[in-house]
Every structure is written in structure tokens, then in C-alpha cells.
Amino acid sequence: MPGAVRRRPAARPDPFDLTLPDVVVAKGSVGSSTLLTDVVDALLLPVAPPVEGEHDVQPRTGTADAAARYGVDLADLAERLHLTGASGEARTVELPRPNAAGRALPWVGLPPRLVLVGVGAGTPRDLRRAGAAIASATRGLGRVVTTVGADGESEGARALVEGYLLGAYRHPSRATGEPVPGPAGTLVLLGRYSQAAVLAARAAAGATWTARTLTVTPSSTKNPGWLADQAVRLAEQAGLDVEVLTERELAARGFGGILAVGAGSATGPRLVTVRYTPPPATGRGRSVPPRHVVLVGKGITYDTGGLSIKQRESMVTMKTDMAGAAVALATVLGAAQAGVRHRVTALLPLAENAVGASSYRPSDVVRLYGGTTVEVTNTDAEGRLVLADALAHADLDLDPDVIVDVATLTGAATLALGRTHAALFSPDDRLALGLQEAGEQAGELLWRLPLVPEYRSALDSSVADIHHVASKAFTGAGAITAALFLQRFVGRRSWAHLDVAGPARAAAAAHEVPEGATGFGARLLLRWLVSLA
């Protein structure tokens, strides 16, 4: 990229240099010698809800054998613990040790804790929740062993490990900015588990960890330059090519949207490009025709709303308004780790939407990359301007087969779908279906909304090529009109827009999802890239 400059990261420690807990596969069963060691702190056993007409929870792989080996009635124990077998339940039993004069108990020499884990119907969703429950129940322990998911197939094993690793994550300390470690020990999967599924789960969970920790970093640290430095650091660690355009290069190249949004901030905007190119295909990999996928992520490192300023309450979560950029970066890093067979380029348009003497104004006309002029009526609709610059650049210069953008773009998407689903827009049925299926598998759900042609007139302008928000005469459908605006900048490319404003942030922790930044989108995009044909 002409005029690009490489930016070196700051020398100080990064507050999100996190390491995932170890997960290893061990052959054998509960009856094997694996448990006969004092370094195993707990044995975690699966139970399912009672079958119709009965009251006792149902044992799954390893549970009955453990009951016999420990000499305890686990069904009675589950009843005493009010365990129902629902997914995500976990109950810990600390087993007593004999006193010096007492006789040996059946479980002497075995792990001193039993944890009964509900697995529900054993679906991937259930096992993902069970994995998160294991992470919570074993926090602070060392080596723990489980047979949860051993009777499932590779998808079940992957979901279990994903849930465990996602549940092990903790946001960096609010007080010091230092990472809060997850479980320091090791999860041992005892039985027939797919090693490939474990590796895929680690790549997916690692991408989510990266997205979460970048997103939750306070904006007192995370300005556009800092975030660009972290992208350089992470990309170079992964062996990827990375380039950064600074304010001067952005002006020379005509990226008017990124410049306008960042004009009011004391820290200038950036455009980061991270490229992953797969190694030459061999063997069966030759049958997959390589494609070029460009991921564009909205990177507003803090959003005051600009001169169209937000209310105080609405600003509190705005350090997370770069969640789309974090997901795009995490996905290209994950693609390299997973060995995706397609070329992946991540574009991160980064800016801080601040209030200053040079802030862009309502009624300004901004010329975006490629020459399109845009009439601004609301400076708080800044995300679509930086995305439009990057999308136009992808279409005009990068020759992609597919473009997918990810953004915390509109409150309208949250009003429509809440916090569990992201809004999906695409004129390409096949692309939309592939993304929806990947979301189902990953547990990151998408709901497709229409690109209504009749709404395009709401973006008409008398002084520019287009308005960036709908006119006052048009009410509602804010997520749709935002998507229609973005569509103008992708040409004839296959394109999808993910508005993740709802699920990118969680008001409370639940199962594998923490309170605050969730990293939503990284796992579904990795799934989609692996399945893309």
C-alpha cells in the first residue's frame, strides 16, 4: 500500500497479554490409573435430566463407573444437591478424609472433589454451557479431569472446550489494567475426544478472548494510535503482513469519512490493513478454490456523538464502539491459527469521535474515498462514514470475492432484536445462509433483515450524492437505512453487513458470556471462513 507506514507498539506491557488454560486429551476411562494421582484436584462427571416418569438424573459417560469406584450413590447425592441435570448446572462435593485412627474410605487416593455437571440434552449449546460451568466450578484449582462430552461427536467436544475457555476468561482489572488470569491449571478430557475439535475450539476461543480484551480496554488507553499499535504487534506475532495509514496518508489518499469523524480528537485517526495469505494447498486442500475475503470492522475507540452529543448515560459503554474492528482483527488472526484456506484481509478504520474546535458539523458535506459526497445531518452516525471509506477502498482496490463488515452500528438493531441476535443484511442469499448457519454452530445468532428498496429514497440529498441518515420525513427502520447506505459503497461485490450493537455488549454475565464486551462475531466468522467453498 503506497504511503503506508509501519507503527511499532509501545514498549510498556499490554493489559491483555492473556494465555488460554491448557486442555489435553487423555485416553482411558474413569477406571484407569489417570485418577490415581494426588495432582488431580477434581473429577467432573456429566448428568442429564430425568427421563419421563422418573425422578433421578441420568448418568452419562463415566458417571456410573465413578459411582462404583468411589463407593457412593451419585443419584442420591444429586438429589440432595437439588441437581436437575439442566445444562450449565454444576455442584461440587468436597469428600471427607479419614482421621488418623479411622479406616480407609473408598475414595482415598482419588481426586478429593466430585463435581456433577448438568449437560441437558447434550446439544452443542448445552455442552458449551456445561464447559462454562466447569470453568466456574474449577477456578483456582490445578489439574481437573472430566468425561463431560465424551459420548458426543466432534461438534460436542468442540462446544465443550469452547465453553470452558470462554467461561475461563475474565476482563482485565478495572483498577490496574492488568490481566485477571483464568484457571491456572489443566483440563484433562478423559475418553474419546477429537484432538482436531480441541484445536479448533482453542482457535475460536482465542479469537474471542482477543476481541473481548481489546474492546473492554478503557479509552484513556485505547486511542486510534494505540489500537493500531496493538494490531501491528498481534499481526507480526502471527506472521501476518500489516500496514497502517496515519492522518497524513489518509488525507493524501482521500479517506474523507475517517478524517471527518476523527477531526475533533486530539489523537488522529488510522486505517489498519492486516493480510493473511494461506500456504499453498496440498492434498485434499487443493479441492477448495481459494477466495479473497475482506473483513471491515468499525473502529470508533470512543464515541461522544461529536457535536450531536450523546447523553451521559449513553456514553458509558462507548469505549466498546470499536468492537467491530476488534472482531475483524481477531478473526484474521484466528484464520491464520486455524489454517483457513482462503485469503483474509482485515480493514480497521480507527477514529475517536470527540468534540473539539475542528469537529465535523451537521450540514457538512464530506467527500468519501472514491469520490462520493455525503451530507451529514447527525455526527453521532459516524460509524457508517468510516465504514463507507473502508468498504469503498475494499471494492476499488483490493478485488475481494466477498466483503463482510461488522459494526456496533445502530440502536435500532438492538431495539428490534435485543441482546441475543445480531442483525444480518445481505442481497446474497447464499452468503446470508452461510453466515446464519455458522452463527447457529458457534452459538452467535444472526437474524436476517431486509434491504428494502423503497427505503433508499430516504437517503436522497439535494446538496450531495447521498444523506448518511434518513430524512426527518422517514421514521423507523434505522438499521435498514444504515445498511442501505453502506450497500452503496460495495459496488457489485458479494457483501454482508452484521450490525452487532446488541450482542456485542452484555448487561450481565451468563454461561460463556461475560458482562460487558462479549467478542460476538469472531467465532461465527471463523466458522464461516472454514466452511466457505
User: Is 310 designated active site?
Assistant: yes
Task: Give me the catalytic one of 341, 343, 384, 523.
Answer: 384
Beta strands 516-517 and 505-506 are antiparallel
Cell matching residue 329 = 482483527
b/e sequence 308-331, b meaning 16+ C-beta within 10 Å = beeeeeeeeebbbbbbbbbbbbbb
Per the CB < 8 A criterion, the answer to whether 137 and 145 are in contact is: no
* Helix (H) / strand (E) containing 91: strand 90-94
Give the whole-angstrom CA distance, residue 376 versus residue 351: 17
The alpha-carbon radius of gyration of the chain (Å, integer) is: 25
CB neighbours of 124 closer than 8 A, spacing ≥ 6? 155, 156, 158, 159, 441, 443
What's the one-letter identity of residue 309? I
H helical segments located in 369-470: 383-393, 411-417, 429-442
* Cα distances (Å, whole numbers) of residue 59 to 27, 82, 148, 191, 304: 20, 15, 11, 16, 54
Residue in the structure block whose three cell numbers are 491464520: 336
Residue 75 Cα distances to 48, 60, 98, angstroms? 11, 12, 23
Catalytic residue, chosen from 139, 143, 192, 310, is 310
Rounded CA separation 294/316 (Å): 31
CA dihedral 311, 408, 299, 320 (to 10 degrees): 60
How far apart, in whole angstroms, are the C-alpha atoms of residue 330 and residue 324?
10
Question: Which among 463, 462, 457, 504 is positioned nearest to 485, based on CA atoms?
Answer: 457
Among all residues, which ones are annotated catalytic?
310, 384
